[in-house]
């Protein structure tokens, strides 16, 4: 487990550094409000802090000999793989289908993967959460949401 903690810590530190690097030219503040570079850097700082804490804890804490091994074929890990794939598909879908269609498909898929089987909840969850996102961001905050390529 120790080698995995070290690997993830280093990987996440590199990710945080990449976020800092790629957002260096983004405005930190715009007209007195946080600009487009502010929140990515806040998130990157959080990732960096948590990664350094994990790395320090890994070296300070003695490894317990009785830790159960990670079983990569267990049902829980398979769900993680599926969720990772769904997140990738959602990201691709944002480019081609836009936020509304992607979210209406993504949210029920995640709910189903996590064990929800009632169709009414799957439909209501997909439509309800997507509607809430649309109302809050597009209507309330006037944020331009990704649109489908055919719109």
SS3 per-residue string spanning the chain:
CHHHHHHHHHHHHHHHHHHHHHCCCCCCEECCEECCCHHHHHHHHHHHHHHHHHHHHHHHCCCCCCCCCCCCCCHHHHHHHHHHHHHHHHHHHHHHCHHHHHHHHHHHHHHHHCCCCCHHHHHHHHHHHHHHHHHHHHHHCCCCCCECCCC
Asked whether residue 23 carries a pLDDT value surpassing 70, the answer given is yes
**What is the average pLDDT across 55-61?**
90
Flag whether pLDDT at 63 surpasses 70. Answer: no
pLDDT tens string 76-114: 999 999 999 999 999 999 999 999 999 999 999 999 999
Residues 6 or more apart in contact with residue 41 via CB below 8 angstroms: 19, 20, 23, 28
pLDDT for residue 27 is more than 90: no
The distance of Cα 34 from the centroid of its chain, to the nearest Å, equals 21
**Higher pLDDT among residues 30 and 85, named by residue:** 85
Q: What are the extents of the domains in the chain?
A: 2-60, 75-140
Q: Has residue 75 got a pLDDT over 70?
A: yes
């Amino acid at each position: 487990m120790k080698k995995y903690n070290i690997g993830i810590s280093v990987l996440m530190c590199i990710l945080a550094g990449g976020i800092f690097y790629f957002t260096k030219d983004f405005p930190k503040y715009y007209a007195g409000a946080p600009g487009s570079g502010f929140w990515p850097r806040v998130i990157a700082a959080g990732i960096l802090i948590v990664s350094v804490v994990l790395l320090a804890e890994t070296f300070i804490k003695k490894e317990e000999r009785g830790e159960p091994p990670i079983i990569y074929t267990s049902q829980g890990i398979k769900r993680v793989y599926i969720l990772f794939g769904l997140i990738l598909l959602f990201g691709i879908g944002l480019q081609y289908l836009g936020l509304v269609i992607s979210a209406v498909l993504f949210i029920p898929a995640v709910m189903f993967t996590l064990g929800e089987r009632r169709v009414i909840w799957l439909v209501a969850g997909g439509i309800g959460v997507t509607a809430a996102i649309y109302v809050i961001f597009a209507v309330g905050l006037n944020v331009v949401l990704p649109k489908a390529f055919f719109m």
